[in-house]
Amino acid sequence: MTTRSHHPDTALLLRHHGRAVAVWHLAATALTSEPLETVRAFRARVLYAKGRRPDFRDSTGRFWDPQDLDFGAWHITVDDPTGRPAAYARLCPPQLIGQFQTRDYLGAETFTKITRSLGEPKGVLGLPEGIWEASRLVSDEHVRGQGYGALAQAAYLALARVQGANAVIGLSGTKDGQEKFHQQFGYTTLPDTEGYEPHYTEGVCVVIWPTRQTAGRYEPLVDSLASELANKLAPSSGDSQGTVNELGINGVLI
C-alpha cells in the first residue's frame, strides 16, 4: 500500500477519456487503512456541504463518516487530474443487506415486502439474492458538472452487472434534483418511498435500477466499463488474478 493514496495498490484501474477510475473491494474482516480513511474524509467533506449536514464533522472538527457498511463493500473513486479524489461511490453486495441504508430507512417489513416482489426469495434474510445497494455517491463541489459524478455512477453500475446483480437499490436525495440525475441512468423511483432523512437533512426517496435494463443515455459508458471490469476480474487474466487474491474476494463475493 502506498502512502498518501486514496486507493490501495491492488485497486482495479480503469481509464476513461484520461480520467482514472479506481475500483477496490474492502474485505469484511479488513482493518481500517489509509485509503479507507481518505475516502471517508472525502465523502464527509462533500456531504458536510459547508455546514448543511453537521453530522459529517466530529467534535474536533474532523470530517467524519465512519460506517460499518464500508467493510465488505466495493469502493469507486474517480481522480481529478492531480490524482486527488474528485468523485466517489460505494456498492454493497447482498451479504450486507442487513445493514442496507434503504432497509434502515424503509424499516425491515416494508423493505422485505418491496424487495421480495423483485425476485425469488432465497438469499440472506430470505430476500432475493441479487439486490445490491449503492450509496455515498458524491463529487467534489469544485468539479461539479464536468462528468465526474456520472463516471463514478456508471462505474458502480458496470460493476453490479459484472457481479451478476439483479438490481441496484439506493436512497436518493430530492432537494437538489438528485432523483433526476438517477433517472438519466434508468433508475426508477419506488412509489410511496418519499420521506425525510434527518442525517442528510433533506428529503429522500428509494430508487432502483434493474441491471438488465438500459442505463439510459449512459448505456454505452456502462457497457464499456463493464467489459473492461469483466476482463480485469476474469480468473484467467494473470494480473487480475493476483489482484483478486490480494483483495481477499476469491470465493467470498464473486
Ligand X SMILES: CC(C)(COP(=O)(O)OP(=O)(O)OC[C@H]1O[C@@H](n2cnc3c(N)ncnc32)[C@H](O)[C@@H]1OP(=O)(O)O)[C@@H](O)C(=O)NCCC(=O)NCCS
Which residues lie near ligand X (CB under 6 A)?
46, 87, 137-139, 144-150, 172-173, 176-178, 180-181, 184
Phi and psi angles of residue 211, each rounded to the nearest 5 degrees, phi first: -65, -20
- Residue-wise burial string across 164-181, b where 16 or more C-beta atoms lie within 10 A, e elsewhere: ebbbbbbbbbbeeebbeb
Q: Which is nearer to ligand X, 129 or 197 (CB)?
A: 197
Minimum distance between the CB of residue 199 and ligand X, rounded to whole angstroms?
12
Q: Which residue is nearest to ligand X (CB)?
A: 149
Pairing between strand 131-139 and 167-173?
Answer: parallel
Residue 6 burial by CB count (10 A; 0-12/13-18/19+): exposed, middle or buried?
buried
Minimum distance between the CB of residue 172 and ligand X, rounded to whole angstroms?
4
Minimum distance between the CB of residue 154 and ligand X, rounded to whole angstroms?
9
Residue 128: CB atoms within 10 Å:
19
Q: Which is nearer to ligand X, 123 or 203 (CB)?
A: 203
Cβ neighbours of residue 64 closer than 8 Å, sequence gap 6 or more: 40, 41, 44, 56, 57, 58
Cβ neighbours of residue 219 closer than 8 Å, sequence gap 6 or more: 186
Q: Which is nearer to ligand X, 122 or 144 (CB)?
A: 144
Q: Which is nearer to ligand X, 103 or 243 (CB)?
A: 103
Minimum distance between the CB of residue 204 and ligand X, rounded to whole angstroms?
8
Q: Which is nearer to ligand X, 36 or 150 (CB)?
A: 150
Minimum distance between the CB of residue 203 and ligand X, rounded to whole angstroms?
11
